[in-house]
Chain A
Amino acid sequence: MQLSMTFTRVWRPAAVIITVLAATEILQRTGIGPVYIPAPSSVLEKAISSRAILLENLGPTAGRAGLGFLIAAVATFTAASLAAVFRPLYGVIYNTGAALHSLPIIATAPLLALWIGTGAQLQVTLAAMACQFPILVGTIQGLGSADAQQRELLIVLSASRAQTLRHLLVPSALPYIFAGLKVAAPSAVLGTVTAEWAGSERGIGAMMLYALFAYDTATVWLSVIATCLLSAAGFGFWALVEKLTDRTIDETEIAN
């Protein structure tokens, strides 16, 4: 039952991907395809032959993105809680988050590199900057999502502020927070990769840049795929945590 449901959900996208890959492969083999699109088989070959290099670069990117994400999450949870408790801070916090989010990372990275250097601190900072806003919006929205009667219930029960936060505001915020975390995880990866372009010895972004200059399209594509997989892993991690914690969502509702 569970297995057949998974199959039904997966087979359509899988069929599309396989068709596209097969078509690309045939086009390349027959010599019709352009040079900048390598045959999927050559990317696979590259992945196997240079897997040591791939892992060497994947590790730092994953670590920086993860650390940046963690810092962003802690900072935004704190900021959103403050905004929920002290109304005057609401606008300041929301606007700061929005302003940081609208900075173009590709231009900010070299500027920031001049101030704090091109080490891991640069990528971690930019990863945090790239992913903070969805978490902030989700948390603020979520903490405000309890309805009027639920709030009145807590007033009738003479609940303290801490009890209201713990028993009502945080549990009702969780679906929103998870939505924010799921959107933010790929952003952290993309932020890191972009930051690595601004000068980094290691990382998927560095690998991508070197391969670009060497016209090594197979490696460029390999780094693109690695970025996608890392982003998807971040998303999948939070989707899994959400599924494990949330028991209010009906299984049958998801299936439909």
Chain B
Amino acid sequence: MSSDINVGRVTAVFDGRKGRTIALESVDLIVKAGSFGSIIGPSGCGKSTLLRLIAGIIPPFAGSVTIGGEPPDAIRRERRLGFVFQSATLLPWRNVRQNIQFPLDIAGRGHRSQEEAFCTELIELVGLKGFENALAHELSGGMQQRAAIARALVLKPDVLMLDEPFGALDEITRQRMNIEMLRIWAESHTTALLVTHSIAEAVFMSDTVSVMSPRPGRIISTIQIDLPRPRNLEMMRGREFFNCVNQVRDALFMREMPRPDSDSQVETL
């Protein structure tokens, strides 16, 4: 099951000590059911805020968010939403299996045999077999984040929110996790929305990349990525991949970067 994500003219404001800050201004975003979307932008452009708005963690000041036609609060209550945070956020007093089962415990479905079987399946899917009884501090950062991904999938969500989940990992682990994430996503049939500040990661993972600009945060461009699936590292060397990366880069640096064909200054560089 999957649902489309529909964000319509959403504005978000924060009331701080220095008065009101507009975090997001009139943002429109559509992620088609079952597709993989990403939001990319510099730090502080409001991309994490947008993700939290879609998840219903914070309410919008104006505009509307729907997931499969329903408001996010309803989706959360029906437990059809998974969220992976920047840090793994595992509960340190629970072992890997108990952490992955945590959403089931909260939903009151912790001890059904079919759910437990699915849990075992997920542990294998994210490659944590043999570490079921380990505590969070006994795992590497990558393994902790895998457990967090399994936890987000345990309720078989329709939509999966990924808030820079691999931002704290080293480049090598990050590429591995990207490939694994795509494999897991393909098997889970959910709609995924990734927040990242890596251009290559956004292009590699997504069907659409939405580029944001800061202060106030708004989506300035959405780029379609038509690379075939399943994706592999070989594609990252291809011309098509580079074209997409350049499109995203152009959108991100539109104001600062003179275009090669329109500006003669480039010659001197």
Interfacial residues, chain A to chain B (CB-CB below 8 A): 147, 149-150, 152-159, 163, 167-168, 171, 247-248, 250
- Shortest CB-to-CB span from A91 to chain B, Å, is 20
- Shortest CB-to-CB span from B105 to chain A, Å, is 7
Say yes or no: B85 contacts A158, CB within 8 Å: no
Most buried by A among B52, B77, B89, B105: B89
Say yes or no: A153 contacts B92, CB within 8 Å: no
Contacts of B76 in A (CB 8 A): 155-158
Number of contact residues on B: which range applies?
20 to 34
Say yes or no: B85 contacts A248, CB within 8 Å: no
Say yes or no: B106 contacts A157, CB within 8 Å: yes
Residue of A nearest to B78 (CB): A158
Say yes or no: A149 contacts B93, CB within 8 Å: no
Say yes or no: A152 contacts B135, CB within 8 Å: no
Scan residues 90-127 of chain B and give those whose CB is less than 8 A from a CB of chain A: 91-93, 102-103, 105-107
Contacts of A171 in B (CB 8 A): 91, 93
- Shortest CB-to-CB span from B244 to chain A, Å, is 31
Indicate whether A167 sits within 8 Å of B105 (C-beta atoms), given known contacts A149-B85, A149-B86, A248-B135.
Answer: yes
In the complex the two chains form, what is the Cα distance from A198 to B226 in whole Å? 86
Indicate whether A149 sits within 8 Å of B57 (C-beta atoms), given known contacts A158-B106, A248-B137.
Answer: no
Interface contacts beyond A158-B77, A167-B106, A247-B93: sample of 10 additional A-B pairs, CB < 8 Å, sorted by A: A149-B85, A150-B89, A153-B83, A153-B85, A156-B55, A156-B76, A157-B76, A157-B103, A158-B79, A248-B135
Contacts of A159 in B (CB 8 A): 106
Q: Is chain A's interface secondary structure helix, strand, loop, or mixed overall?
A: helix
In the complex the two chains form, what is the Cα distance from A194 to B218 in whole Å? 67
In the complex the two chains form, what is the Cα distance from A152 to B77 in whole Å? 14
Say yes or no: B93 contacts A153, CB within 8 Å: no
Indicate whether A157 sits within 8 Å of B107 (C-beta atoms), given known contacts A149-B87, A149-B89.
Answer: yes
Contacts of A149 in B (CB 8 A): 85-87, 89
B24 proximal to A (CB < 8 A): no
Say yes or no: B106 contacts A163, CB within 8 Å: yes
B45 proximal to A (CB < 8 A): no
30 residue pairs bridging A and B, Cβ less than 8 Å apart? A147-B89, A149-B85, A149-B89, A150-B91, A152-B83, A152-B85, A153-B83, A153-B89, A154-B106, A156-B76, A156-B82, A156-B83, A157-B79, A157-B102, A157-B103, A157-B107, A158-B76, A159-B106, A163-B106, A167-B91, A167-B102, A167-B105, A167-B106, A168-B91, A171-B91, A247-B93, A247-B135, A248-B92, A248-B137, A250-B137
